[in-house]
Structure 1
Amino acid sequence: MVQNKNIVLGVSGGIAAYKACALTSKLVQKGANVKVIMTESAQKFVNPLTFQALSRQPVYIDTFDEKDPNKIAHIDLADWADIFVLAPATANVLGKVANGIADDMLTTTLTATRASIYVAPAMNVHMYANPAVQKNMQTLTSFGYQFIEPGEGFLACGYVGKGRLEEPETIIRVIEEQENSKDSTFFHGKEILITAGPTQESIDPVRFFTNHSSGKMGYALAEVASKLGANVTLVTGPTKLPTPPKVKRIEVKTAEEMYDQVLLHYDACDIVVKSAAVADYKPIKTFDQKMKKQDGNLVVEMERTKDILKTLGKKKKQQYLVGFAAETNDVIRYGKEKLAKKNLDAIVVNDISQEGAGFSVDTNIVTFLSAKGKEEIMPLLSKSEIAKKIFVLMENDMKDGTL
């Protein structure tokens, strides 16, 4: 919880700065000690006196305003913080921090702190999607910054899309959940293997069969597992996603290669989460040279690939085995059948026909089913939030005696 925590709130210059006022008030109501840093641009939207009244603390706006000669203000503030929240985080401040630029009170303090850092971006939908902004966020994620993704809706600029600062209640909930998870040592030191992404089954040097999986769910799971203190091995099909911090990444292309790598590491695993979308079939005949276009139809005969999850279920000893199932109808029924048939401890099922769920998108809607009869429905959430909840459910299930 945030009670009695020292929280520095960094407010940068966007219209969403008004929401930072509500965030300050709610944090104080929860018993947190809050000190606010404002950029020069943020002061164009909200007067520092507002934050002073809400936090009952002085507001920091100038790097060179050294009130106490015995202390360097930005270093003292950086050391004081247990938690550092950047909300709203503009494209400008993200670019500065990602590239080590510290030219005002906010960026110098942020660069000096060793506190847990949470970032809640807010900007125009096209700015948020800009490759430079995305790259900067990926860089900060690799540094250990934890992002609270913006919501979708009507923006101040008139556009409708992703870029709206998340609501203060949600920001606080995410922080509390993450801080509470740090107190849990359940996954510390455990060997966790996660599969992610699609596979590619070639028919010739130019063409291959694949699916729409982006790997985002598996990568989110790997990132959460690593933050929980596990030793994480990520066996991934082709994807351009960055490797989560402290995660061992093994790249494969085909279902056969994924099968080999998973089996190679399986015996040493405590937990396996198979979230990859592995091809069920591959061409029987392949060609070393590009197939030339011919008149008429083309028939490609396919054969079954090895069933990785079924094999793991048969070989299971001490492992806790979790599968994923993407369905388009009778989701729960098919999930329960797969749970039993493949000797799983749990399965995460979703209906990819629902809006906001399934492949490529940043959100998901899933149901967690365990062999012990537990059933937990998770509504539309970011895949990062889904991943966190899955590990909470896994921990509760395993504490019943599985591991």
Structure 2
Amino acid sequence: MPEPSREQIASALHERPAIALTPGTRLDAERPGSLPVSPSAVWDLPGGTAWVYRGEGNPGLVRPVILADGFGTGPSELESSWQLLEFGDYPLISELRRRGRDVILLGHHERGASILDNSRTARAAITRALAERLGGTPLVVGGFSTGGLVTRHALARMECEGRDHGTGLYFSYDTPHRGAWIPIALQAFAHYVKDLDGRFSDQLNSPAVREVLWRHIGVWDGTPGPSEERVAFLAQMAAVGEWPRRPRLIGVANGAADGVGTDVRPGELALEGKGRSVIGTRLHAQAPGADEPVARLRVAAAKTHEVRTKGLASIDGAPGGSLEGFGILADGLNALHPDLGLQTAVHIRSHCFVPSVSAVDVGDPDTDAALYQDISALLAGAGGLDDFRLASRNEPHALVTRELCSWLLGHLP
């Protein structure tokens, strides 16, 4: 049987949902059995939407908690937010409302937009919550994943502008304060198949991803480094003082504190092509060294291209919140018709996405020594946060757990 043409492969890819590296449900996951509860109100905001749920017995907004949506592509969806926050390991929305807290789920028209642009939506939500609040209870403002960066910038900018944000507590939930990581092998593959289906590449080149990734490449054979957008984003954070100063600052991380990573070994084969259209494709976990092969790329082509890196740490197996990046790619390709020859075998589904040191702002993910340090030996306030809590084990990024939520709820004013 002849190898499918590139046109046939491109057409098949576009008929399927886009391969997108986002936390949460996989393409084949079942939808939740319960639908989201209808909100008390829906706010149309510049660049986004807020779904408001009053606390039990509250006549209006009495004790508002703003929860900002995080990493992803496309618009925020209420059902996805509920699946993350309510239908997972711990029913956070219900528990907040049971305690008399008014939950404001803050979504964005485009999650892949610049964090600085979505910060404008957060500032509008904070302003409206203050205007509608009954009484003087301080706001609680924070977010999950990049939502923690969105709200961190929003509060800090409001302070710089002399605006009252009325916030007593800021929190972040597995937020990449010092940067996130998507393996160079995955980034290279996404850009390599851009002419077949550009959606995967477009996600990894979106403004938010460029701003948040510790190391980024914009083309398959690019040199890993901080993108121009990340440099500009860090400069804007510095311009507003890095952190808000008025509220108490706390954070939780889905990564472990003891410095012990996962069983992913540096340089280990993560994914390999098995179908005739991808024979020769091999994606590896990141390894340190001066000339490390991380990917061999071949998709419906005669030639195989190699991608090498130098000077990067062994970050894929580091302690932190994980993302099923290799698994998501394999699932997307294996869902296509076998005749297309895109079948793959995945040996490592997950990689570190938000290193523990980044989520609690105690170190940059530059070296193995920093990534694998024992954070449990550090005192509270070692980084930008006043206090933090890490998970007892490395777990999926943004997973809402009883362990972390119990600590978080115990610190609400």
Give the TM-score category using the shorter length: under 0.3
TM-score normalised by the chain length of structure 2:
0.25
More strand by share: 1
Relative contact order (C-alpha < 8 Å, sep 6+): which is higher? 2
